[in-house]
Structure 1
Amino acid sequence: MADRRIQVFHTVAKQLSFTKAAELLFMTQPAVTFQVKQLEEHFNTRLFERTHGKITLTHAGEVALEYAEKILELSSEMETRLGELTGEISGKLMIGASTTIAEYLLPRILGEFKEKYPQVKAHLTVANSETIENKVADHTLDLGLIEAQSHHPILNTDLCCNDELVVICSPNHEYAKFTSLTALQLAEQPYVSRELGSGTREVIDDYFRNAGVNPDDLNIAMEMGSREAIKGAVEAGLGIAIVSISTVVKELKLGDLVAIPLEPKMTRALSLVYANEKFRSKLMQAFLDFVKTTKLNRVK
């Protein structure tokens, strides 16, 4: 419903890139440039400064962005409210999830939710927990599912369930026959770690600190942003790692990896995060209720 020029300007302003905006809007870059130029001509002012291949918002652009966000939010709210008069739960749901949840837990949940509400179109963004939090906070996403409690000041956090993390190693590793391991024992071995910003990394670092081991003192062989890469490195004998037990079910069955529980056990809370706002659509509320009361709680 909102003026297309405003939608295009908003996307360019948030991305500070005509190229990225064109990709997100499924438009050509010249078409994006034309829409922004039309808006500038309408207001008889420049909204962007273009220097050395980079763009920044002018003062007028900053004011325009503030109002564009309000206009788009109200336009979306109007469409949602009017759509709800039909009694159907429908529309687009923008969900973000950290990698473990997105790949191992969420597909089934989204499938069951879609079966219950066939008119809903879900769009999933996969990134680390910190990125998902920021996207929910700036309203790029409606809600997020992350692997730790949120520390963002404007977000609500609801705990969904607990997930156990275990040590994994090659079947040929000296720890393969152990029935449990402590943090001190892990500090003696080459360790394959997740990247900074990962919810898993945050939980693991806190566990080591509580056990009296400084995470900076670990013998980190490498840091990786991909869980699959971590499993591959461990399988190749390059070190040990800590992962969610739900992510190595196949490898354990095939005998490619061995999982050893920690003593004491390491668990993390999987959290649902969303902005604390006055307006919440029936669609978003339906998904919140669906996840919190019936679905993720079945995943242990």
Structure 2
Amino acid sequence: MEIRVLQYFLTVVREESINRAAEVLHITQPTLSRQLSQLEEEVGVRLFHRGARKITLTNEGLLLKRRAGEILSLVDKTEKELMEREELVDGKIVIGCGELAAMQLLPDLFQSFSQKHPLVSYDLFTANADLVKEQMEKGLVDIGVLLEPVDMEKFEFLRLDQKERWVVLMRPDDPLAVKEAVTAGDLEGLPVILPRRLNVQNELAHWFGDSFPNLHVLFTSNLSTNSAVMVRKGLAYSLSIEGSVSFWDKNEVVYRPLCPELTAGSVLAWKKGQPFSLAATKFIRHIKDTYAF
């Protein structure tokens, strides 16, 4: 039983006429009639009641109609899946990211994408949002996970639901460690480490309010991991995003949230009009499909 003949059969069923079905299929009426007769011989039953004006299905024909529809749907689905795999997509996708809680969303994306394209690999470039965005604009990074505030005029992006909470890093034996949260006044006159990004500093300055001029900014840093090294040695307190907290040794560095709470959003972004590799193009499509973009 050939797929082509099943398609002929369903066309005749739909048109209720061999003549009309032959016109739709662009074959002659005798050729179609012969194919249907051979199909009936092959299955060993009559499939049609041939009337003067139209043909109708026998009970056996009704069963074949249902099964033929299922078979052709499965064939179509299989062909689409094979086409999606194309010629086995390979290559490397460069992902720029900060030490953010939003990074927890990426492993599921990587896993589901790798099931379809197992030859693709990933390069994780860790930096603050300004540097990641700069690399994206140069075409050196394909996709970025960026901490807001950030100018997205040149980028297509998906705003992630997960919020990034600002915290203060300190030694576990520090006097502030006994507090449940840290206020702006608690940090006045104390050595602190601020993020290097100026627009983030502005956000923090707004939170500190009148206390900001009284801060003793000993360091600025673009990564909280390096800040934590300074904190561990007791040199300063670090204002940081909570995202990388799980990687720190709690016996050496602890954190307390700001009070009142300060949070920031993050985005998953890629440059508009960028000529991406096939692997990156498909990964962006995967992101859009996953999040119904």
Task: Specify the TM-score bucket, using the shorter chain as the normaliser.
Answer: 0.5 to 0.7
Residues 13-49 of structure 1: CA distance to partner in whole angstroms, max 9, x if unpaired? xxxxxxxxxxxxxxxxxxxxxxxxxxxxxxxxxxxxx
C-alpha distance in 2 between matches for 1:181 and 1:285: 42
C-alpha distance in 2 between matches for 1:94 and 1:115: 15
Residue of structure 1 in register with 2:267 after alignment: 271
Q: Secondary structure, in 3 states, of the residue corresponding to 1:230?
A: helix
Alignment of 1:244-255 (within 5 A): 244-251=241-248, 254-255=250-251
Residues 87 and 212 (structure 1), Cα distance of their counterparts in 2 relative to 1, 3 Å cut: same
Alignment length (residue pairs): 205
Q: Which has the larger radius of gyration?
A: 2
Taking structure 2 as the reference length, the TM-score comes to 0.58
Residues 204 and 179 (structure 1), Cα distance of their counterparts in 2 relative to 1, 3 Å cut: farther
Q: Secondary structure, in 3 states, of the residue corresponding to 2:268?
A: strand
Residue of structure 1 in register with 2:78 after alignment: none
Alignment of 1:162-201 (within 5 A): 162-196=163-197
Q: Which amino acid aligns with 2:253?
A: L
Residues 266 and 210 (structure 1), Cα distance of their counterparts in 2 relative to 1, 3 Å cut: closer
1:261 equivalenced with 2:260 (yes/no): no
Q: CA deviation at 1:273?
A: 1.6
Alignment of 1:192-271 (within 5 A): 192-196=193-197, 202-203=199-200, 205-213=202-210, 217-251=214-248, 254-271=250-267
Residues 118 and 102 (structure 1), Cα distance of their counterparts in 2 relative to 1, 3 Å cut: farther
Residues 249-296 of structure 1: CA distance to partner in whole angstroms, max 9, x if unpaired? 2436x4222221111112111211212339883332113444x479xx
Unaligned runs of 5+ in 1: 1-83, 295-300
Taking structure 1 as the reference length, the TM-score comes to 0.57
Q: CA deviation at 1:191?
A: 0.3
Residues 207 and 195 (structure 1), Cα distance of their counterparts in 2 relative to 1, 3 Å cut: closer
Q: CA deviation at 1:104?
A: 5.9
Q: Which amino acid aligns with 1:224?
A: S
Alignment of 1:2-41 (within 5 A): none
Question: RMSD in angstroms over aligned alpha carbons?
Answer: 3.3
Residue of structure 1 in register with 2:107 after alignment: 108
Q: Which amino acid aligns with 2:264?
A: R
Contact 2:102 2:243 in 1 (8 A): no
Residue of structure 2 in register with 1:87 after alignment: 84
Residues 125 and 260 (structure 1), Cα distance of their counterparts in 2 relative to 1, 3 Å cut: closer
Contact 2:98 2:145 in 1 (8 A): no
Residue of structure 2 in register with 1:99 after alignment: 98
